[in-house]
Structure 1
Amino acid sequence: RLRYPVAFGDGGTREVTLVHGEAYFDVSPAAMHRGAKFKVRNRFQEVEVLGTEFNIRAYRDETQIYTTLVEGQVLVGHQHRKQFLAPAQQSILDTRNNNMALATVDTSKEVSWKQGTFSFQDKTLKEIMKVLSR
């Protein structure tokens, strides 16, 4: 579920809210929008986008939020901590203890769902069934 305005104001921050679920963003640079920043918020974090492609997975029934950078650069913020991601990096925010970790990932596997393909390498049957049920 994604919440966004009917139209973004001229020059103001372009902001959307990922209420829950998973979304892939391909964002045009701020220079193409009179310098307007683009931000994606969810209940636990804010991602400031600097013209890029990235994925956020934030399901209600999971205690971790995954932000995966495919291309460009993003700044992931949670409470007082901010972390820049480089391509092929993923931030993992544990909402139970507010810890944020970084991992290097194969982005093609992380965003394969966009093409209707699922990658289940090294996943448990429980994890596979959760993805398929969605």
Structure 2
Amino acid sequence: TPWTPPVWMKVNNLKELEPFESWTSGQLNPACYQDYAVYFVKWIRAMEEQGVRIYSVTPQNEPLNRGNSASMYMSWQEQNAFIKEALGPKFRKAGLNTKIYLYDHNYDYDNQKEDTKDQGQYPLHVYADTETPDM
């Protein structure tokens, strides 16, 4: 899961689409979807060449957190578009079986449904977990 794409792929927001030359915050320019998907494919291939199988990826680490040292805002709608328009097709064309998970964010947001029997197949971070004792 990347924390941010290269800054040349980032814009200030999706309305103005002005270049955003910072590692922190910004959004992925939709015009760069194809290029960014190629980064994923090349990284997976490079890892495979070293004997490391990549089981799954997510398009963005903590997609609502604009404040990390390297970060990018990427709503679930943006992630869905990126996967549908670029990442999924590039994986298929490359013959990759790597799974793509959507919305790799903190436990205290969208991953709290108690009635979700298949919760284990979705990515999450457990930073704000109030149910598990401190380790």
Instruction: With the length of structure 1 as denominator, give the TM-score of the two structures.
Output: 0.29
Instruction: With the length of structure 2 as denominator, give the TM-score of the two structures.
Output: 0.29
Structure of greater Rg:
2
* More relative contact order, 1 or 2 (CA 8 Å, 6+ apart): 2
Q: Which structure: greater helix fraction? A: 2
